[in-house]
């Protein structure tokens, strides 16, 4: 029998299955995907909105801080407890039953703990999908809390763009319900925006109404070798101008990033004899069937025409092999990790500034850290760049922490103050980047967050991040 009165109260109210206390049971909730490792007082897994409210009330009564947790795929350490052993992890994994599709409305009402894959499997039966698409399998509540972007943001937008309504349990157990299903509804405050991208500090997302998209009937993918960043932007401009309606992804992979992929993924083969500075993955998709629109031929023709005008700015074009090209893209992060020490960035700058920004970072490395390699890649179509740095610790002869401390703040400074960019394009705010939030956020925005926090979470018990 546990001696912890909170565990006893939670177990009495929600049942044995809802509360996990042993180190073995807690382990998978205590470590994040990339960052974040701590010790939880216990894990509570409510299975309904009412149970989430009960859990939050009981945690409040026992003075416990609560970390909402979805699928734990976040990349800023915001979904795991600290090392103190006093925080409760509130996992939504059992709140995953409701998926109600309104076919004619092209919307779905979904529980916060439903996985993206689970949702898409259900939607496919009606010819739909939720088009916020990424290389992980998060929960819908976690996606709302981090405003997930993903690889097809260019065409479909982020979660905020596709979110119609929301149900949230506030810090003290009150339930705020604004499960709007309408696309047009201008009747005052649309509260969902408070809970989108604010990493769970204002409330726990228990249900959401999403607009969904018809499943594409075909895709056409090409890999275009570009001499430099300017060539990439010229290609993007040409494709948007002529094929904007069907352009669904525009991802960029640098030669250094791809070299790591081919070194560590034996199943993937180099597509070009010489890797260009950037290989650009272009994807078109359409709901028209292939007999109504020959998408691959359209892509081929357009890229052929671009090649003629681009001169040596474009080094090669390969059309087809979509799965292989996407597999290269999705294996970059893990391949870079196998190369040695890595410092990952999730930066956005205005799209037009991506070449200049990248050149500034290259110049900084060349001057001060010539043994650190820039292995950039990312969602250039949305102005996003995962500007990852890789190095061999023995060759540099300094501890990784020293390299990170020297480079991280300087690169964020160039991005944020130099280019009006963001230090967290799509991963949100967490302990991993809290100090940059503190540094770069307008004091009035912080004051506003303090007011909202007083209302939404009066006991200040939710989350691992401080937005005020
Ligand atoms: C391989 C990989 C690829 C990725 N690619 C992308 C990408 O392309 N684009 C992108 O945007 N992100 C990407 N991510 C990041 C990540 O998948 C997203 O941030 C994800 O949407 C988080 O959802 P989750 O359910 O895993 O949330 P968690 O990681 O569990 O939590 C994230 C944050 O949300 C809060 N939270 C979770 N659930 C709730 C809830 N129900 N109510 C309130 N707060 C909650 C947590 O407290 C935490 O602050 C990637 C991650 C990985 C591992």
- Does 188 lie in the same domain as 105? yes
In a domain, 240, yes or no: yes
User: Atom 23, ligand 1: which residue's CA is nearest?
Assistant: 142
For residue 74, the CA-to-ligand 1 centroid distance in Å is 4
Q: Is residue 435 part of a domain?
A: no
In a domain, 387, yes or no: yes
- The 3 state secondary structure assigned to 209-278 is EEECEECCCEEEEEEEEECCHHHHHHHHHHHHHHHCCCEEEEEEEEHHHHHHHHHHCCCCCCCCCCCCCE
Asked which of 161, 183, 214 is the last residue of a domain, the reply is: 214
Is there a single domain that holds both residue 201 and residue 234? no
Q: Is residue 395 part of a domain?
A: yes
Domain tally, the chain: 4
Q: Tell me the average confidence (pLDDT) per consecutive run of 10 residues in the chain, 468 residues long.
A: 89 97 97 93 98 98 97 96 97 98 98 98 98 95 96 96 98 98 95 97 98 98 97 96 95 97 95 94 97 96 93 92 94 94 96 97 96 96 95 93 96 98 96 97 98 97 95
User: Do 321 and 232 belong together in one domain?
Assistant: yes
- Indicate if ligand 1 lies below 6 Å from the C-beta of 229: no
How many residues does the structure list for the chain?
A: 468
Residue where a domain stops, chosen among 310, 332, 354: 332
Q: Are 174 and 136 in contact (CB under 8 A)?
A: no
- Domain-located, residue 432: no
Statement to judge: residues 145 and 182 lie in one domain: yes
Is 246 in the same domain as 297?
Answer: yes
141 lines ligand 1 (CB under 6 A): yes
Q: Among the three residues 91, 111, 132, which one is the final residue of a domain in this structure? A: 91
Q: How far is the CA of 114 from the centre of ligand 1 (A)?
A: 13
What is the model's pLDDT at position 3? 86
Let me know if residue 83 belongs to a domain. yes
Asked if 204 and 258 sit in the same domain, the reply is: no
For residues 385 and 148, give the distance between their C-alpha atoms in angstroms, rounded to a whole number: 15
Residue reference for tokens 């100090």: 435
DSSP line for 98-136: -EEEETTTTEEEEETT-BHHHHHHHHHTTTEE-----SS
Establish whether residue 70 lines the binding site of ligand 1, counting it when its CB lies within 6 angstroms of any ligand atom. Answer: yes
Residues 234 and 207 in one domain: no
Atom 16 (ligand 1): residue with closest C-alpha?
A: 74
- Indicate if 123 and 207 belong to the same structural domain: yes
Structure tokens at 359: 């050149």
SS3 per-residue string spanning 12-36: HHHCHHHEECCHHHHHHHHECCCCC
Best residue for ligand 1 mutational test, from 35, 69, 89 (most atoms within 8 Å of Cβ): 69
In a domain, 159, yes or no: yes
**Residue-range definition of the domain harbouring residue 327:** 218-332
33 lines ligand 1 (CB under 6 A): yes
Quick check: is 181 in a domain?
yes
Task: Give residue for tokens 């739909």.
Answer: 128
CA of 244 to the centre of ligand 1 (A): 29
Does any ligand 1 atom lie closer than 6 A to the CB of residue 431? no
Same domain, 222 and 323: yes
Residues 222 and 325 grouped into a single domain: yes
Which of 46, 142, 195, 326 should be mutated for ligand 1, with most atoms under 8 A from CB?
142
């Amino acid at each position: 029998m546990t001696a912890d009165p909170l565990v006893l109260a939670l177990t009495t109210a929600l049942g044995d299955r809802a509360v996990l206390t042993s180190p073995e049971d807690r382990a998978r909730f205590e470590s994040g995907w990339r960052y974040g490792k701590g010790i939880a007082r216990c894990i509570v897994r409510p299975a309904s909105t009412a149970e989430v409210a009960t859990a939050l009330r009981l945690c409040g009564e026992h003075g416990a801080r609560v970390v909402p947790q979805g699928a734990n795929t976040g990349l800023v350490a915001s979904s795991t407890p600290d090392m103190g052993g006093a925080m409760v992890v509130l996992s939504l994994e059992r709140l995953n039953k409701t998926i109600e599709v309104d076919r004619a409305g092209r919307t779905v009402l979904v529980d916060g703990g439903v996985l993206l894959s689970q949702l898409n499997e259900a939607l496919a039966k009606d010819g739909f999908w939720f088009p916020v698409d990424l290389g992980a399998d998060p929960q819908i509540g976690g996606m709302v809390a981090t405003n997930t972007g993903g690889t097809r943001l260019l065409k479909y937008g982020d979660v905020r763009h596709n979110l119609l309504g929301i149900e949230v349990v506030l810090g003290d157990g009150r339930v705020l319900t604004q499960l709007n299903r309408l696309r047009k509804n201008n009747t005052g405050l649309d509260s969902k925006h408070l809970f989108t991208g604010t990493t769970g500090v204002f409330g726990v997302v228990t249900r959401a109404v999403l607009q969904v998209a018809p499943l594409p009937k075909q895709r056409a993918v090409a890999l275009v070798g570009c001499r430099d960043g300017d060539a990439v932007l010229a290609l993007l401009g040409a494709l948007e101008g002529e094929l904007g309606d069907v352009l669904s992804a525009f991802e960029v992979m640098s030669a250094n990033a791809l070299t790591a992929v081919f070194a560590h993924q034996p199943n993937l083969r180099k597509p070009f004899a010489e890797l260009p500075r950037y290989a650009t993955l272009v994807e078109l998709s359409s709901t028209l069937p292939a007999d109504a629109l020959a998408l691959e031929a359209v892509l081929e023709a357009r890229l052929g025409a671009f090649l003629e005008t681009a001169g040596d700015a474009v080094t090669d074009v390969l059309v087809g092999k979509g799965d292989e090209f996407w597999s290269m893209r999705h294996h970059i992060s893990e391949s870079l990790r196998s190369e040695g020490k890595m410092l990952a960035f999730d930066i956005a700058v205005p799209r037009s500034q991506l070449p200049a920004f990248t050149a500034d970072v290259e110049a900084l490395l060349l001057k001060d850290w010539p043994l650190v390699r820039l292995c950039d890649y990312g969602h250039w179509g949305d102005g996003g760049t995962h500007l990852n740095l890789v190095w061999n610790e023995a060759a540099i002869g300094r501890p990784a922490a020293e390299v990170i401390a020297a480079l991280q703040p300087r690169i964020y400074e160039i991005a944020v103050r130099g280019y009006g960019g963001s230090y967290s394009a799509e991963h949100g705010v967490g302990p991993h980047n809290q100090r940059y939030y503190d540094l770069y956020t307008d004091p009035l925005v912080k004051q506003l967050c303090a007011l909202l926090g007083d209302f939404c979470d009066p006991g200040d018990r939710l989350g691992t991040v401080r937005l005020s």
